[in-house]
């Protein structure tokens, strides 16, 4: 005999109970999703201060054994270094990225640094040059080892500016942008010339609060008031040379959010989830390892 549970599979709540189940309006869903993300971010910061107070660090260390295999620099968003970026390190490590994985804290500390980290492009470019200098020092000591830049949100600008600042003859393996707060029309050609694999841009059109409304109101890291590339993806700028067009064709890789990410790695399309540990382990680390 078929059980009651089996009988009700595939039957809607209205059919089972005869009651009208109200649908949640799309705008209400968007508002609730943004509210949940805001509280998730607050909890992350609370965790960060507790861990700092206890002297706990989760980021992978720069010991000599790991440095022999390569270096990945993780660049935080405008919130500066936090347990969120430590989690990004853990996700890359769990995904099999080899070598040392380190947070490069480029921004002014929370909470006062928020607006400055987003709007002070002069300071952002200066800190990007510091990242480039760190890469050069590492390559001098460990020649031939792979170097990656993995950046979330506002850190995307620092990663791209850093690649642009590398001296001639210096390159990184690749740049990963996670919900990057750069404008979609920013010319990536100079940065892609310094990347062997190119740039992987992970973006989500569901990132409404931060990279849609937020960057239209407060601007992107490169100071354009528009939806960011971490929301809508990069587009090919007009007026490129043939060599620059070739770089875009060969070295710009874009990964759009899809429903599968929500089901398999808890990436629901929002801004915070773009740097989630499971998402990095399952979808970002494999690109870096190829």
Give the residue extent of every domain in the chain: 30-289
Residue 290's pLDDT is 86
124, 115 Cβ separation under 8 angstroms: no
Give 20 or 16, the one with higher predicted confidence. Answer: 20
Tell me the pLDDT tens digit for each residue of 123-156: 999 999 999 999 999 999 999 999 999 999 999 9
| 35 pLDDT higher than 80 | no
Residue 1's pLDDT is 43
> Among the listed ranges 60-69, 157-166, 217-226, 246-255, which one has the minimum average pLDDT value?
60-69
**Confidence label for 57 from pLDDT (cuts 50, 70 and 90):** low
Which fold is adopted by the domain 30-289?
Answer: Rossmann fold (3.40.50)
Mean confidence (pLDDT) of the chain: 85
Cα 161 to Cα 119: distance, rounded to the nearest angstrom: 15
- pTM of structure: 0.82
Average of pLDDT values for 266-275? Answer: 91
């Amino acid at each position: 005999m078929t059980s009651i549970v089996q009988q009700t599979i595939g039957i809607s709540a209205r059919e089972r109970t005869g009651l009208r189940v109200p649908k949640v309006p799309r705008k209400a869903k968007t508002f609730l999703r943004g509210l949940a993300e805001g509280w998730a971010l607050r909890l992350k910061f609370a965790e960060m201060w507790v861990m700092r107070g206890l002297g706990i660090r989760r980021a992978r260390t720069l010991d000599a054994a790991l440095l022999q295999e390569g270096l990945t620099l993780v660049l935080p968003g405008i919130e500066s270094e936090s347990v969120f970026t430590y989690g990004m390190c853990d996700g890359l490590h769990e995904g099999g990225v080899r070598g040392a994985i380190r947070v490069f804290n480029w921004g002014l500390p929370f909470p006062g640094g928020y607006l400055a980290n987003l709007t002070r492009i002069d300071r952002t470019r200066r800190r990007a040059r510091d990242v480039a200098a760190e890469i050069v020092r590492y390559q001098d000591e460990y020649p031939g080892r792979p170097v990656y830049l993995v950046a979330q949100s506002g850190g995307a600008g620092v990663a791209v500016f850093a690649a642009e600042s590398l001296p001639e003859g210096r390159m990184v393996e690749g740049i990963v942008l996670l919900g990057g707060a750069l404008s979609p029309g920013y010319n990536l050609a100079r940065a892609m010339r310094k990347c062997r694999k190119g740039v992987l841009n992970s973006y989500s059109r569901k990132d409404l609060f931060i990279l849609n409304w937020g960057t239209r109101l407060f601007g992107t890291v490169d100071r354009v008031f528009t939806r960011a590339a971490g929301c809508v993806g990069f587009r090919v700028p007009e007026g490129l040379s043939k060599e620059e067009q070739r770089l875009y064709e060969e070295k710009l890789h874009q990964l759009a959010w899809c429903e599968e990410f929500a089901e398999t790695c808890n990436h629901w399309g929002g801004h915070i989830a773009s740097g989630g540990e499971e998402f990095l382990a399952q979808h970002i680390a494999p690109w870096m390892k190829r």
